[in-house]
Amino acid sequence: MIGSTGTALTAVVASVLDAPTRGELRVRHEALVTVDQAGIIVSVLDPSDSEYEQLRDRFARNGHLTELEEGQFLLPGLIDLHNHAPQWPQLGKALDVPLEVWLNRYTFPLEAKYADLGFAGEVYESLVDSMIGNGTTTAVYFATTHLPATKLLVDLCIEKGQRALVGKVAMDDPDGCPDFYRDESAATAIAATAELIDYVESHPGNRDGLVLPAITPRFIPSCTDELMAGLGELATHSSAHIQTHCSESDWAHSYGVSRFGQTDTATYRDFGLLTSKTVLAHSNFVNAQDLAMIADAGAAVAHCPLSNVYFANAVFPTRDAFAADVHIGLGTDVSGGPGPSVFSAAASAVAASRVREDGVDPIVTADERGVPDSRISFAEAFWMATTGGGEALRLPIGVLSPGYSFDAIAIDTAVPETDLNIWPDIDSSLDVLQKIINNTVRRNVSRVWIQGVLVKSPSR
């Protein structure tokens, strides 16, 4: 899994915060992170290491050393496991109705507009800039049913240097999709998905695999059996990832159960869509058997806590997923979630877990109000936003250790007009992490590297 290491070419000196182990924050002060020509981390040295001074001086003399200043921290880049690129124009609005109404009233009409490549280019350019600007180094994108616009999203991610998984949305069921927005047939949807995989894998600008294809059945209510079976078949013949929505809301979950007499997880498994490269968005209504099935398959859940507040009718059992050893990371679910930041998703994951633990109705006595032992810590949320996301995708990202890609962000707590303030004498490293998760905004993300390439630089 981990890439091979070569000779270091550039280096960064910084206070490094990452979370290779769930629930534990790792802190390395004045660490020297060296990176090779392919963008892979070669070494992370501590000032007490014998080679440290000499190496640091050499990189500095050659002009290849970036030194973060007091108040700046180096973190792994954020991983957004679930993001609907075409919904970017409706970010922050249209959240006043249930999922099934939202899809038909707002979302399908918006997504239908991506037949227009000019519109698609304008939106996707703005979206990718915002994701990078907010520190998302890897995004897992649903596009739309349109192959040309989906290819354009691939091109833009490659051009801007964003690591991404991109899927052409497949949705063909006339009973679940409007006439103005659906694939002509299962066969055309499967053929277009195969063409996208080929396009991404043979793209001349994508030799190092920065962008990867994803097989993307939208969700069970929008897909015929024929489509799901065909995409499952395609998955067995390709190395592409798979992404879909699973047991998201009362309505979506009960639709799947009434159509197939079993949970969405079981249905995806039966269609060959539950593999070690599958990302299941939401999955709020998964039961213990589903979690075991997901863990057995080595599949992953994209937990989208803020979107779930609007659409899920329940709070995802994050701690149960941890206990079942399910791969799990975070998703913004742009635009079911109203913001672009994975830090916000992490903060919401903590808050949602507290709501689950404590319950909601003051009339109910405290001992019966919530679900005991549901809370997660900020360190666990940070792990999901980084390491957990990397493990979910089976990519060497999310951790700042040798062999991993140098996908990293610098958080600057000293930018003008910041609300992210650190008092070094009273804030512990865990305090700093908690503040970063809760109060980082785009201007605090001063640098972003993806595969060793600096794709965002300080504006001051």
Cβ atoms 397, 137 nearer than 8 A: yes
In terms of Cβ atoms closer than 10 Å to its own Cβ (0-12, 13-18, 19+), residue 275 is: middle
- Residue 108 interacts with ligand GUN (CB under 6 A): yes or no: no
At 301, which amino acid appears?
A: V
Query: Binding string to ligand GUN for residues 245 to 274, with x set by CB under 6 A, is what?
Result: x--x--------------------------
Region near ligand GUN per CB under 6 A, out of 27-35, 99-107, 370-378, 451-459: 99-107
How far apart, in whole angstroms, are the C-alpha atoms of residue 198 and residue 452? 26
CA atoms of 397 and 413, how far apart (whole Å): 24
Any idea which residue has 């440290």 for tokens? 52
Write b or e for each residue in 65-91: b if 16 or more Cβ atoms lie within 10 A of its Cβ, otherwise e: bbebeebbbbbbbbbbbbbbbbbbebb
Task: Please measure the distance between the N-terminal and C-terminal CA atoms of the chain and give it in whole angstroms.
Answer: 38
From ligand GUN, Fe ion, none, which one binds at residue 248 (CB under 5 to 8 Å depending on kind)? ligand GUN
Separation between Cα atoms, residue 320 and residue 243, nearest integer Å: 21
Number of residues counted as binding ligand GUN (CB under 6 A):
12
The yes or no reply on residue 264 touching Fe ion (CB under 5 A) is no
E strand or H helix at 278: strand 278-282
Return the number of the residue (222 or 374) whose C-beta is nearest Fe ion. 222
For the CB of residue 281, give the shortest distance to Fe ion in the complex, in Å: 5
Residue 34, H or E segment:
strand 26-36
Between 304 and 445, name the residue whose CB sits nearer to ligand GUN.
304
Size of site (CB under 5 A) for Fe ion: 2
- Decide if residue 311 touches ligand GUN (CB under 6 A): yes
Identity of the residue, 170 or 379, whose beta carbon is nearer to ligand GUN in the bound complex: 170
- Write down the least CB distance from residue 282 to ligand GUN, Å: 7
Residue type, 231: L
| Neighbour tally for 371: CB within 10 Å | 16
219 binds ligand GUN (CB under 6 A): yes
CB of 333 to ligand GUN, least distance (A): 5
User: Does residue 17 contact residue 346 with C-beta atoms inside 8 Å?
Assistant: no
Within 323-362, which residues bind ligand GUN (CB under 6 A)? 333, 336
Nearer to ligand GUN, 84 or 456 (CB): 84
Pick 216 or 446: Cβ nearer ligand GUN: 216
Q: Which stretch binds Fe ion (CB under 5 A): 144-152, 171-179, 327-335, 370-378?
A: 327-335
Residue 295 and residue 325 in contact, taking contact as beta carbons nearer than 8 Å: yes
Measured between alpha carbons, how far is 13 from 53 in angstroms, rounded to an integer?
11
Phi-psi region of 2 (alpha: psi -120 to 50; beta: other; left: phi over 0): beta
Per DSSP, 75 falls in state E
Question: Strand (E) positions, 85-185?
Answer: 136-142, 163-167, 169-170
From the CB of 266, what's the least distance to ligand GUN, in Å?
A: 18
What is the enclosing helix (H) or strand (E) of 242? strand 241-246
Q: Select from 333, 380, 391, 407 the one that contacts Fe ion (CB under 5 A).
A: 333
Choose the binding region for Fe ion from 31-39, 187-195, 270-278, 331-339 (rule: CB under 5 A). Answer: 331-339
Q: Tokens 């005991």 label which residue?
A: 372
Q: Contacting ligand GUN (CB under 6 A), which of 28, 56, 84, 375?
A: 84
The CB-of-372 to ligand GUN minimum distance in angstroms stands at: 28
Contact between 307 and ligand GUN (CB under 6 A)? Answer: yes
Does residue 86 touch ligand GUN according to CB under 6 A? no
**Contact string (CB under 6 A) for ligand GUN, positions 177-216, x = contact:** ----------------------------------------
- Distance between CA atoms of residues 23 and 19, nearest Å: 7
Q: Which does 311 bind (CB under 5 to 8 A by kind): Fe ion, ligand GUN, none?
A: ligand GUN
Name the residue nearer to Fe ion (CB basis): 281 or 376: 281
Beta carbon of residue 16, minimum distance to ligand GUN (angstroms, whole number): 34
Please report how close the Cβ of residue 142 comes to ligand GUN at its closest, in angstroms. 7
**For residues 278-317, which are near Fe ion according to CB under 5 A?**
281
Angle CA 51–53–55, to nearest 5: 65
Separation CA 238–CA 194 (nearest Å): 9
Cβ proximity to ligand GUN: between 174 and 362 the closer is: 174
Nearer to ligand GUN, 59 or 219 (CB): 219
What's the full length of the chain, in residues?
460
Q: What are the φ/ψ torsions at residue 181 (nearest 5 degrees)?
A: -150, 85
Q: Which is nearer to ligand GUN, 28 or 303 (CB)?
A: 303
List residues near Fe ion by CB under 5 A. Answer: 281, 333
Footprint of ligand GUN (CB under 6 A): 84, 99, 103, 107, 218-219, 245, 248, 307, 311, 333, 336
